[in-house]
Amino acid sequence: MASHFSASTRPDSSTLNKRQLMRRAVLETLERRELLAADSAGVVFAPGTAADYVDDVIGSYLQGAHANGESGNANAPGPRWNNPTGGVSPNEGDPSVVSWSIVPDGTIDTANNSQTNLIAFMDNIYGGGTGPVENRPWFNIFERAYDRWSEVSGLTFVYESADDGAPMGGTNRGVTGVRGDVRIGGRPIDGNFGVLAFNYFPNNGGNAGFDGDMIIDTNDVFYFNSADGPNGENRALSNVLMHEAGHGIGLGHTIPVNQTKLME
């Protein structure tokens, strides 16, 4: 999701050019700037994020990809799901059935060896409980995002109620009854505003652990400020989830950036 800049903070042409180059950023762990060469992801910035910060983050991704500062994945063909838990989908245009799950708090994100805490974070905003995650008052916001992509894409997303808490990444791909193809977790990323979330592309077609996974910044007041209760529209969170899920099915960013399209 593109940052929605006010007139006073709208990025200059240099920043916009870099953003257009980075249609598919090679993901670094933001805390340590260590390149994950095999995994690429899409990043979403908070509305009003300062242009110089956007420029710095994108610049670091570009510099991290190649010594010449260019992203090797910027113009790569989009990846797709060809071996999710719902069965093989070998040919472009074939439908796919992709499962998604929410990881238990305490699950390790192997990108930076931190523990996830998304459930507690969402419980603190919308209210929680001790039962299954699908009984939480905020669960329907996540479910709506994936249901909507099922309606408008060639994929069918199904919720996987099981998630064994195996570390995110590595060889821990989706397994029916064990964990989803797409796994959603959260951890601190860069504090308030800035990066709100990122989502891995299905870089290995569903054969690897990070394929389609989403990480939400659980140290960002953006989510508190934009919430309007479990029964509200929650447009901000919904847009973040749907935008990032779009990356999870292989979509990059769209242009022009004029606050009219989900995948800007």
pLDDT at 176 over 50: yes
**Domain-embedded: residue 38:** no
149 domain residue, yes or no: yes
Edge-to-edge strands of the sheet including 34-45? Answer: 25-29, 34-45, 195-200, 214-217, 182-187, 96-102, 155-159
Residue 25: the pLDDT is 34
The number of folded domains in the chain is 1
Contacts of 38 (CB under 8 A, 6+ apart): 203, 208
Average pLDDT, integer, range 134-157? 96
Top-confidence residue, 101 or 3:
101
The answer as to whether 62 is a domain residue is no
- The reply to whether 197 falls in a domain is no
Asked whether residue 68 is domain-assigned, the answer is: no
Percent of the chain with pLDDT over 70: 75
Q: What is the CB neighbour count within 10 angstroms for residue 78? A: 14
Mean pLDDT of 13-17: 46
What is the mean predicted confidence (pLDDT) over 80-90?
A: 95
Q: According to the model, what pLDDT value does residue 8 have? A: 34
- The region of weakest confidence among 2-6, 48-52, 142-146, 243-247 is 2-6
The pLDDT, as a whole number, for residue 65 is 35
Residue 50 has a pLDDT of 80
Q: Is 242 exposed, middle or buried (0-12, 13-18, 19+ CB in 10 A)?
A: middle
Helix (H, G, I), strand (E, B) or coil at 121: helix
For residue 30, pLDDT over 60 is answered with: no
Task: Report whether pLDDT(203) > 70.
Answer: yes
Residue 48: pLDDT band with limits 50, 70, 90: confident
| The overall pTM is greater than 0.85 | no
Average pLDDT over residues 6-11: 36
Please check whether residue 66 lies inside any domain of the structure. Answer: no
Would you say residue 185 has pLDDT above 90? yes
Work out the mean pLDDT of the chain and round it to a whole number.
Answer: 80
Which has the minimum average pLDDT: 36-45, 47-56, 116-125?
36-45
Per-residue pLDDT at 23: 33
Does the residue 167 lie in any domain?
yes
Average pLDDT over residues 117-125: 98
The answer to whether 86 and 96 have CB atoms below 8 angstroms apart is: yes
Confidence of residue 103 (pLDDT cuts 50, 70, 90): very high
Backbone torsions φ then ψ of 53, nearest 5 degrees: -70, -45
Lowest mean per-residue pLDDT among 75-79, 82-86, 89-93, 108-112? 75-79
Full domain range(s) for residue 180: 96-192+205-242
Q: Is 23 among the domain residues?
A: no
Structure confidence at residue 54 (pLDDT): 72
For residue 144, give the DSSP letter: H
